[in-house]
Amino acid sequence: MTARVLYAGAPARWDEYRPALARALEQAGVDCVLGDDLPADEVDYIVYAPNGPVSDFTPFTRLKAVLSLWAGVDTVAGNRTLTVPLARMVDHGLTRGMIEWVTGHTLRHHLGMDRYIHGLGGDWQPAYPPLAEERGVTVLGLGALGRACAETLAGLGFRVTGWSRSAKTIPGLTCLHGEAGLAEALASAEILVLLLPNTPETENTLNATTLAQLPEGAVILNPGRGRLIDDEALLAALDSGHVGHATLDTFRVEPLPRAHRYWSHPRVTVTPHVAAETRLRTSSEVIAENVRRAEAGEPLLHLVDRSAGY
């Protein structure tokens, strides 16, 4: 039977995705019709992104699954018109991009590279960093991306603590969970990496109380979600010096408004949501594999737990 696959991502990217998806579906052995304007009542699968044209799934009466191009599904997981399985994007390209961003900025702050990049002005005063094994790094969130980053940093020798809402065991990491575990995880976080999903339970995970639990001068890296941080509380901690620096890639409002204090704060680095991008080839391969699995009656990869929101 021929599967009918609707592309409902960003319209401007259809010309890029059309050949990539067609190639991946062919290589996966899927017999399908692929388009960006198929009749709703004939669609079997939707390749979805929140910046695409679909928000009401009701007209798609024979829909079998929605396959997200984004890792984050917080904007669609609670959609009451979506009653079929939802799969989020977990792919090699996105994961590698996140690992590289997190590793690069962890090493940057661990080695104190900003001091030399901005110039010593003739002041020959060496400052020797500790070894990685003497530096405590905490990763909040041990999903696919958080675990991959934590394992990479542990492989470089850092003392890595991972925290998640539910108990997990990962070789080479100190794994903590729950409210008591969060306090312990923050206390050892000389460098803190935020990779939690965006859910009502995780909003403002970093607030005045939890920021105070960090060591003096801690560095925060947020390539996860903007809503994980209470911005005013973070700015206060940066102003006081309790937080030494924050390198932020995600924000509550994007693009970050020009008047926002993050742009001008001397202890803040802003990157424009570049830590991890869905890659054309690898994401198309993940989509194609899930269509193949669904057509073969096999379990889908990366299914979203709608009750948890991720």
In the chain, domain spans: 3-91+278-296, 94-270
β 65-68/86-87 pair status:
parallel
**Known catalytic membership, residue 292:** no
Residue 165 structure tokens: 């809402």
**Known catalytic membership, residue 18:** no
What pLDDT is stored for residue 126 in this prediction? 85
What's 3-91+278-296's CATH class? alpha beta
What pLDDT is stored for residue 298 in this prediction? 98
Say if residues 48 and 54 touch (Cβ distance below 8 Å): yes
Q: How many CB atoms lie within 10 A of CB 10?
A: 15
Q: DSSP 3-state assignment of 189? A: coil
Are the folds of 3-91+278-296 and 94-270 the same?
Answer: yes
Q: Which of the following is catalytic: 23, 252, 273, 302?
A: 273
Q: Which of the following is catalytic: 88, 110, 225, 279?
A: 225
Fold of the domain built from segment(s) 94-270: Rossmann fold (3.40.50)
What pLDDT is stored for residue 103 in this prediction? 98
Q: Dihedral through CA 283, CA 288, CA 294, CA 298, nearest 10? A: -80
What pLDDT is stored for residue 121 in this prediction? 79
What pLDDT is stored for residue 301 in this prediction? 97
Mean pLDDT per 10-residue section of the chain, whose length is 310 residues: 96 97 98 98 97 97 97 92 96 93 98 88 87 98 96 98 95 94 98 95 97 98 98 98 98 97 98 92 96 98 89
What pLDDT is stored for residue 61 in this prediction? 98
